[in-house]
Amino acid sequence: MAKKLLAAAAALLLLLLLAAAAPALASSSSSSSPGSANLTATPTAYEMVERYGFPRGILPEGVESYVLRPDGSFEVHLSGDGGGDGNGGGGDCEFRVGDGGAYLLRYGRRVAGVAMEGSIRSLEGVSVKVLFAWLGIGRVDRAGDDLRFFVGPLSAAFPLANFADCPRCRCGFDCDTAAAAAAAVIAAS
């Protein structure tokens, strides 16, 4: 349940960790689609992930740009079409994860932090809704083939294999099921 949620959050964080290993990339790169071809010398966020041996699914679809500074601080900007619902979403990228969609994950339009070898610290802009509260994911560490996500003093580890696909805003990892459920609700009204 929580594994898919944290896996999605880790996706974004791993990109930044990997980018920190290449300080020469202190520039911006545009990419609105994880499958888009890049004709410039600067790799897209999704290409950065693959260049370092990670699946592109560590990032949600809709990355518009990213900036990585020589000191490891970074910003990732997502498109504003995340389907905010008027309850604080405001265009943020939200989608359900976990068994039966038990958790709601939110990537803000701006995600920032500091990437170091094997770790992303001071993370801002990624949170998970647990019961009635939004909790910020503040740190992600990589240990071998696992990612460990920290929400305050609590942490959970998930295998890298959970990041094979890029989640989509509003429907997450299984958009076909989400679309069928929405159609069923409309038909019942």
Q: What is the pLDDT of residues 58-113, one digit of tens each?
A: 678 888 998 878 787 888 898 876 544 434 445 688 887 766 666 688 989 998 88
Nearest Cα neighbor of 140 from 109, 116, 167 is 116
Residues of the chain with pLDDT under 50: 1-32, 38, 53, 83-89
- Amino acid present at 68: L
CA-to-CA distance for 89 and 23, rounded, in angstroms? 33
Nearest Cα neighbor of 167 from 108, 66, 96, 103 is 96
Identify whether the C-beta of residue 105 lies closer than 8 Å to the C-beta of residue 139: no
Q: In this predicted structure, what is the pLDDT of residue 60?
A: 85
CA-to-CA distance for 122 and 114, rounded, in angstroms? 6
Continuous segment of H or E residues that includes residue 127: strand 119-130
Nearest Cα neighbor of 47 from 15, 69, 79, 11 is 15
Q: In this predicted structure, what is the pLDDT of residue 4?
A: 46
Residue with structure tokens 């594994």? 3
Q: In this predicted structure, what is the pLDDT of residue 122?
A: 93
- Beta-bridge partners for 141: 119, 148
DSSP 172: B
CA-to-CA distance for 100 and 4, rounded, in angstroms? 11
**Which two tokens mark 112?**
């920032």
Q: In this predicted structure, what is the pLDDT of residue 153?
A: 92
